[in-house]
């Protein structure tokens, strides 16, 4: 009898609490939650339209470029450099500095140094500069020995180190430009440690600089040697192909401006110096330099048909750090340079509008924020609040068109477009967080973690095959933010399935699964430790 009465009392209390919570929810929903959610929907739809217009505009420009066969050689002077002048000899060729910044690059240092030393150019008109910030003395010694090996082969290669890592990559590049022999050089080509240029790279790029005094930068396209390593690298390839085939191309042809990618490019040293040289005030020193040089009136040329081999991060940890840097840095740079761009008098109003609105605001801020807040927070919330409706054009048509425009850059992966959408939405959470950190200069704003490169190490350790993920353990592979968002989406999906009229549950369940998969670390590859 006592047990029955206590059970009854418990059920009564529990029922009362549920009723009270339901009453509070009903009372707060209409006067408070509904207006706020409606406002957020309007803001998200506005941002979606801005992103949609930007994507369509770039798509139209690319179509015209393809129809009319645009090539940089048609807009700028370009003649192959020849050494058939007996009197001038090799002096007809400009002096070129090749910089290779590296930091504990045990797996790839030989590849990058070998590719740079294999560049076709008169041997007395090129200097290879290896900027080694390695903290591991064993790796440092290995890199120095490799440089000495090439020096004995007759290559003019310099091995440079410094006492500290102040400024990270920007600091290393800045320090490298201070050496006396750099004053002899006209141009500087930059390759990160995992980049392998073809031997004709300088013959393809230098003429644009040598024969067009207004050109300050020539940028080549990245080609990914490990795109097929795992599903995550395939997803990255889709995103980056759009960047290189569309965004960079459009910026180059319409405004002669785009963001320098930090590698696989050649700078006119005088343009670099006039812009103020390398600065380490953000984690995107390459973009910072490009914007400052553009404001000085320098033009940039992008060569989409010149590809340089490189490596995509294939572990999720490395990819997250890279995306944090790539999202936080541009937002922070926008904060620092917006007024400087507006006040600039050397460039046209159209170019200033392009840099501020299209390049920074829409692509570097809006694109990240709207993807996460709208599709992973606001849209699921409308399932719980049926008074708020999202028009079909905003919830379905616009994102579908944007997705298709993004996917055309990598036709071989078109069948993966659904997985790509789900993965990009998961990553948008980290990008949004990093963007806000950059805008408000919060804690991790200057965090710099060098992206891990594996080279051939993975194939050697795993017998030629990418290893599968091991059993999940709580050693850094559990990501609670992803699991939390996944749970939220799953609950919204269950509610929509049981009570809702939106029929969003299919999307919500799929997206929640994507968050759960990433949340338990089952993404990317696993690198064996032995």
Say yes or no to pLDDT of 7 above 80: no
- pLDDT tens, position by position, 279-295: 999 999 999 999 999 99
Say yes or no to pLDDT of 492 above 80: yes
pLDDT value, residue 463: 47
- pLDDT tens, position by position, 207-219: 999 999 999 999 9
By DSSP bridging, strand 187-190 and strand 157-160 are unpaired
For residue 313, what is the domain's CATH number? 3.90.550.10
Residue recorded with tokens 């939405």 = 425
Range of the domain at 203: 74-318
Say yes or no to pLDDT of 313 above 70: yes
C-beta atoms surrounding 89 within 10 Å: 12
Please give the mean pLDDT across all residues of the chain: 90
pLDDT value, residue 70: 82
Q: Where are the beta strands (DSSP E) in 182-298?
A: 187-190, 215-224, 265-268
pLDDT value, residue 460: 47
Q: Is residue 249 part of a domain?
A: yes
Q: Is residue 528 part of a domain?
A: no
pLDDT value, residue 15: 66
List the helix and strand counts (H, then E) for the chain: 21, 7
Predicted confidence band of residue 39 (pLDDT cuts 50, 70, 90): very high
The pair of three-digit structure tokens given for residue 497, joined into one six-digit string: 């399935």
Q: Is residue 206 part of a domain?
A: yes
Say yes or no to pLDDT of 472 above 60: no
Q: Is residue 356 part of a domain?
A: no
pLDDT value, residue 419: 96
pLDDT value, residue 93: 93
Averaged pLDDT for residues 354-375? 97
Averaged pLDDT for residues 463-473? 46
Min mean pLDDT across 81-85, 191-195, 244-248 is at 81-85
Across 66-79, b (16+ Cβ under 10 Å) vs e yields: eeeebebeeebebe
Averaged pLDDT for residues 34-62? 96
Averaged pLDDT for residues 367-394? 94
Predicted confidence band of residue 8 (pLDDT cuts 50, 70, 90): low
Predicted confidence band of residue 25 (pLDDT cuts 50, 70, 90): low
Report in angstroms the alpha-carbon separations of 441 from 283, 294, 430, 435, 444: 12, 25, 16, 10, 8
- pLDDT tens, position by position, 425-461: 999 999 999 999 999 998 888 888 888 877 655 454 4
Cite the DSSP H helix spans in 118-219: 137-152, 168-176, 201-210
Predicted confidence band of residue 69 (pLDDT cuts 50, 70, 90): confident
SS (H, E, C) 44-105: HHHHHHHHHHHHHHHHHHHHHHHHCCCCHHHHCCCCCCCCCCCCCHHHHCCCEEEEEEECCC
Does residue 351 or residue 473 have the better pLDDT?
A: 351
- Separation between Cα atoms, residue 270 and residue 195, nearest integer Å: 25
- Separation between Cα atoms, residue 496 and residue 390, nearest integer Å: 14
pLDDT value, residue 449: 83
Report in angstroms the alpha-carbon separations of 335 from 169, 259, 288, 373, 445: 21, 16, 12, 21, 12
- pLDDT tens, position by position, 416-434: 999 999 999 999 999 999 9
Averaged pLDDT for residues 230-248? 96
Cβ–Cβ under 8 Å, residues 481 and 428: no
Predicted confidence band of residue 91 (pLDDT cuts 50, 70, 90): confident
Averaged pLDDT for residues 341-349? 94
Q: Where are the beta strands (DSSP E) in 285-410?
A: 299-310
pLDDT value, residue 527: 65
Q: Is residue 112 part of a domain?
A: yes
Min mean pLDDT across 121-135, 358-372, 400-414 is at 400-414
Q: Is residue 421 part of a domain?
A: no
- Separation between Cα atoms, residue 332 and residue 443, nearest integer Å: 12
Predicted confidence band of residue 24 (pLDDT cuts 50, 70, 90): low
Q: Is residue 253 part of a domain?
A: yes
3-state class (DSSP) for residue 477? coil
Say yes or no to pLDDT of 82 above 90: no
Q: Where are the beta strands (DSSP E) in 381-474?
A: none
Say yes or no to pLDDT of 276 above 70: yes
pTM score of the predicted model: 0.91
Averaged pLDDT for residues 24-47? 84
pLDDT value, residue 243: 96
Say yes or no to pLDDT of 174 above 60: yes
Does residue 110 or residue 2 have the better pLDDT?
A: 110
| Domain total of the chain | 1
Q: Is residue 424 part of a domain?
A: no
Say yes or no to pLDDT of 26 above 70: no
pLDDT value, residue 454: 76
Task: Indicate which residues carry an active-site annotation.
Answer: 133, 286
pLDDT value, residue 450: 81
- pLDDT tens, position by position, 503-529: 899 999 999 999 999 999 899 887 655
pLDDT value, residue 476: 58
Say yes or no to pLDDT of 530 above 50: no
Instruction: Give percent of the chain above pLDDT 90.
Output: 78
Say yes or no to pLDDT of 494 above 60: yes
């Amino acid at each position: 009898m006592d047990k029955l009465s206590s059970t009854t009392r418990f059920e009564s209390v529990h029922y009362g609490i549920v009723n009270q919570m339901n009453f509070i929810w009903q009372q707060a929903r209409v006067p408070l939650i509904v207006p706020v959610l409606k406002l957020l929907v309007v803001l998200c739809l506005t941002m979606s339209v801005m992103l949609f217009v930007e994507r369509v505009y770039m798509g139209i420009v690319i179509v015209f470029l393809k129809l009319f066969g645009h090539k940089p050689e048609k807009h700028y002077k370009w003649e192959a450099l020849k050494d058939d002048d007996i009197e001038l000899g090799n002096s007809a060729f400009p002096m070129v500095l090749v910089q290779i910044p590296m930091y504990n690059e045990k797996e790839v240092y030989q590849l990058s140094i070998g590719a740079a030393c294999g560049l076709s150019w008169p041997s007395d008109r090129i200097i290879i500069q290896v900027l080694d910030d390695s903290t591991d003395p064993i790796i440092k010694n290995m890199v120095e020995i490799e440089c000495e090996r090439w020096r004995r082969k007759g290559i003019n290669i310099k091995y440079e180190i410094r006492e500290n890592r102040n400024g990270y990559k920007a600091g290393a590049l800045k320090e490298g430009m201070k050496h006396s022999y750099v004053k002899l050089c006209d141009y500087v080509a930059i390759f990160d440690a995992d980049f392998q240029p073809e031997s004709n790279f300088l013959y393809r790029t230098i003429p644009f600089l040598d024969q067009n005094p207004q050109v300050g930068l020539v940028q080549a396209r990245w080609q990914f040697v490990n795109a097929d390593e795992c599903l995550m690298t395939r997803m990255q390839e889709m995103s980056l192909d759009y960047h290189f085939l569309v965004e960079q191309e459009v910026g180059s042809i319409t405004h002669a401006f785009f963001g320098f990618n930090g590698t696989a490019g050649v700078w006119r040293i005088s343009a670099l110096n006039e812009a103020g040289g390398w600065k380490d005030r953000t984690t995107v020193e390459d973009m910072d330099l490009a914007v400052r040089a553009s404001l000085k009136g320098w033009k940039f040329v992008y060569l989409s048909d010149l590809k340089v081999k490189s490596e995509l991060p294939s572990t999720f940890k490395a990819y997250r750090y890279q995306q944090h840097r790539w999202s936080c840095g541009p937002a922070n740079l926008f904060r620092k340079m917006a007024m400087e761009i507006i006040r600039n008098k050397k460039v046209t109003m159209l170019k200033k509008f392009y840099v501020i609105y299209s390049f920074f605001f829409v692509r570097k801020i809006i694109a990240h924020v709207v993807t996460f807040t709208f599709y992973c927070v606001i849209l699921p919330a409308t399932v719980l609040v049926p008074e708020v409706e999202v028009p079909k054009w905003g919830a379905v048509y616009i994102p579908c068109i944007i997705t298709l425009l993004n996917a055309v850059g990598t036709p071989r992966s078109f069948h993966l477009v659904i997985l790509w959408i789900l993965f990009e939405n998961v990553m948008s959470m980290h990008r949004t967080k990093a963007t806000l950190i950059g805008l408000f200069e919060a804690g991790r704003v200057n965090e710099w973690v060098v992206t891990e490169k594996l080279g051939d190490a993975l194939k050697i350790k795993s017998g030629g095959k990418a290893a599968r993920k091991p059993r999940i353990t709580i050693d850094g592979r559990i990501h609670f933010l992803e699991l939390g968002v996944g749970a939220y989406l799953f609950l919204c999906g269950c509610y929509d399935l049981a009570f809702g009229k939106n029929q969003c549950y299919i999307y919500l369940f799929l997206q929640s699964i994507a968050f759960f998969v990433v949340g338990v670390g089952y993404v990317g590859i696993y690198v064996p430790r032995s």
